[in-house]
């Protein structure tokens, strides 16, 4: 068997990283969100095929990466799932025998029937001698791969190590964190609630997408999940619910004139959580996106040394140059210390470390505590927003919502919230949703992962 030989790579959280990747096989790259999977396939394999930075043996001349779209292009008449499936089929049909194709989460958002079809497409191609790497969290791809590579053991600075490489049979016996979750037989013992007496929303006379005079109803103060294959209308119903229940500024602009809504008086507002990338500005970091850096700058600007040196809040701004290490904070700014640490030290703090040093500041604690509860305590405050993995970005968005003073009687809407999440992260996500519901709110999601909808209170299958 011929292998791609990667030796002693240092990139992001990969440190002296070495791995063997077989060619002409379906290889699953697995691990927690932020464990280094994207660094391996994007920053090492793909970029090395363009610019020979490292001596990687047997790397195909053409390495192609297919990432799923999370936002549908404006002119497309297909659903997002149909669009992504079509992209995958096109990419596979145009692949050359000596190419390496990397597919990033090819099964995200798809129903079981579609996931099985995607697996067959990949396996059929491999049987003909093609080489495919799948970065994936879904069980179908992982359990049917020829070879598995797992990174970990944790995320961020605690990840980046090779913790397993080998056949699927060996992986099953390995006892790694991913193997334990993938091969674990779970039963949902959640008792079924009697929802007949719940307050409900009923939206009737819906004529949008494939729906004609359709009625959509769901209970309030619950986690509600819409499931169904691509094109069934999941995203359409989420949009309808958002528009029908929105009461904010310019509500008249998105109001659906044809529908009739019962129970609207029980909802204060609707809020849709976008799938768009977080913090697209070049100087955006985890701390600036979470709105915590302003509070930290405040603290530093009020220190005695700052006043003595005539420094203001603006002297502690994170700029693109600082992130790219082209320059640094001024020498005077670095002389200012809080609890013995200067501003550059703070940029390199994990959330856990920041909570320890800023533990007396209620605003900072509130904003960071939810990131910690979302399982992101290992992230560094100065980490660039666009370097977060899909699963990390998803949880950062949700934690940011929680960090605000949540009102009650709101409907929070998420399209495929499990995207990018390791199996271990899903219970964390469900617990966050429960926190939102406990504050007299409703969670409305569209998702096809059984690991998520088995724990929802109410399921609508289209």
C-alpha of 383 from chain center: 15
Phi, psi of 71 (to 5 degrees): -125, 130
Res. 305 pLDDT band, cuts 50 70 90: very high
Tokens of 292: 């915590």
Mean pLDDT of 251-275: 80
Q: Tell me the angle at which helices 426-438 and 390-403 cross, rounded to the nearest 10 degrees.
A: 20
Q: What percent of the chain has pLDDT over 70?
A: 94
Least confident segment among 49-53, 180-184, 189-193, 372-376? 189-193
The reported pLDDT for the residue numbered 169 is 95
At 367 the pLDDT is 87
What is the C-alpha separation between 118 and 116, in angstroms, rounded? 5
Give the closest residue to 114 by CA, choosing from 28, 235, 26, 229: 229
Please state, for a pLDDT cut of 90, what percent of the chain lies above it.
Answer: 57
Distance of alpha carbon 247 from alpha carbon 318, whole angstroms: 36
Tokens, residue 70: 């999370």
What is the average per-residue pLDDT within 257-268? 88
Q: Backbone phi, then psi, for 164, in 5-degree steps?
A: -160, 140
| Tokens 């469900």 belong to residue | 430
Q: What are the pLDDT digits (tens) for 68-120?
A: 777 777 777 788 888 888 999 999 999 999 999 999 999 988 999 999 999 99
Helices (H), 128-161: 139-143
Tell me the per-residue pLDDT of 185-233, one tens digit each, with 9 for 90 and over: 766 556 666 677 789 999 999 988 888 999 999 999 999 999 999 989 9
- CA dist 217 → 208, 224, 355, 459 (Å): 16, 10, 42, 11
As a whole number, the mean pLDDT across the chain is 88
- Segment 4-15, tens digit of pLDDT: 999 999 998 999
**Interacting residues of 449 by C-beta distance below 8 A, sequence separation 6+:** 138, 418, 426
Instruction: Read off the pLDDT band of 326 (50, 70, 90).
Output: low
Tell me what pLDDT residue 325 has: 61
Q: What is the pTM of this model?
A: 0.86
Res 399: pLDDT: 82
Burial 231-248 (b: 16+ CB within 10 A, else e): bbbbbbbbbbbbbbbbee
pLDDT of residue 250: 64
What pLDDT, in 10s, does the model give residues 367-426? 898 898 888 989 999 888 888 887 888 888 888 877 776 678 899 999 888 888 899 989
Q: Report pLDDT for 303.
A: 94
pLDDT of residue 252: 57
DSSP 8-class letter at 41: I
pLDDT band at 255 (very low <50, low <70, confident <90, very high): low
151, 40 Cβ separation under 8 angstroms: yes
The pLDDT score that the predictor gives to residue 133 is: 97
pLDDT for residue 327 is more than 60: no
> Tell me, what's the pLDDT at 188?
59
Token duo for residue 246: 């929105």
> Contacts from 40-45 at CB under 8 Å and sequence distance 24+?
40/6, 40/14, 40/149, 40/151, 41/65, 41/102, 41/104, 41/133, 41/135, 43/11, 43/12, 44/6, 44/9, 44/11, 44/14, 45/4, 45/6, 45/100, 45/102, 45/133
């Amino acid at each position: 068997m011929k292998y791609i030989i990667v030796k002693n790579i240092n990139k992001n959280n990969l440190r002296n990283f070495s791995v063997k990747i077989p060619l002409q096989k379906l290889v699953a790259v697995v691990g927690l969100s932020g464990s280094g999977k994207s660094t391996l396939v994007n920053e090492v394999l793909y970029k090395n095929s363009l610019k020979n930075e490292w001596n990687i043996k047997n790397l195909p001349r053409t390495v192609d990466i297919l990432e799923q779209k999370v936002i549908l292009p404006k002119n497309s008449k297909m659903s997002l799932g149909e669009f992504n499936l079509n992209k995958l089929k096109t990419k596979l049909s145009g692949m050359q025998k000596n190419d390496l194709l990397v597919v990033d989460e090819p099964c995200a958002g798809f129903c079981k029937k579609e996931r099985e079809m995607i697996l067959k497409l990949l396996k059929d191609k491999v049987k003909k001698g093609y080489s495919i790497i799948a970065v994936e969290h879904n069980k179908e791809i992982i359990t049917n791969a020829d070879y598995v590579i797992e990174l970990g053991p944790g995320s961020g600075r605690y990840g980046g190590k090779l913790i397993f490489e080998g056949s699927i049979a060996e992986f099953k016996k390995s006892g790694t964190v991913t193997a334990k979750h993938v091969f674990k037989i779970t039963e949902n013992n959640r008792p079924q609630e009697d929802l007949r007496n719940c307050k409900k929303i009923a939206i009737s006379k819906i004529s949008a997408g494939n729906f004609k005079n359709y009625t959509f109803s769901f209970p309030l103060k619950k986690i509600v999940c819409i499931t169904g294959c691509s094109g069934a209308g999941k995203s359409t119903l989420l949009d309808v619910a958002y528009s029908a229940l929105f009461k904010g500024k310019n509500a008249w602009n998105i109001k659906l004139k044809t529908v009739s809504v019962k129970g609207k008086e029980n909802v204060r507002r609707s809020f849709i959580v976008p799938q768009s990338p977080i913090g697209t500005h070049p100087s955006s970091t985890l701390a600036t996106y979470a709105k915590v850096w302003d509070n930290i700058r405040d603290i530093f600007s009020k220190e005695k040394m700052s006043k003595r040196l005539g420094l203001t809040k603006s002297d502690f701004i994170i700029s693109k140059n600082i992130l790219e290490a082209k320059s640094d904070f001024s020498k005077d700014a670095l002389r200012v210390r809080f609890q013995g640490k200067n501003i550059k030290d703070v940029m390199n703090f994990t959330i856990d470390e920041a909570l320890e040093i800023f533990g007396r500041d209620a605003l900072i604690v509130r904003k960071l505590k939810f990131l910690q509860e979302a399982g992101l305590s290992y992230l560094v405050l100065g980490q660039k927003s666009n370097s977060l993995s899909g699963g990390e970005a998803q949880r950062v968005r949700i934690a940011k919502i929680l960090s605000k003073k949540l009102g009650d009687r709101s409907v929070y809407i998420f399209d495929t919230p499990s995207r990018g999440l390791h199996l271990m992260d899903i219970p964390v996500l469900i617990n966050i949703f429960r926190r939102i519901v406990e504050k007299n709110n409703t969670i409305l999601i569209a998702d096809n992962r059984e690991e998520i909808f088995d724990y929802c209170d109410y399921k609508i299958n289209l």
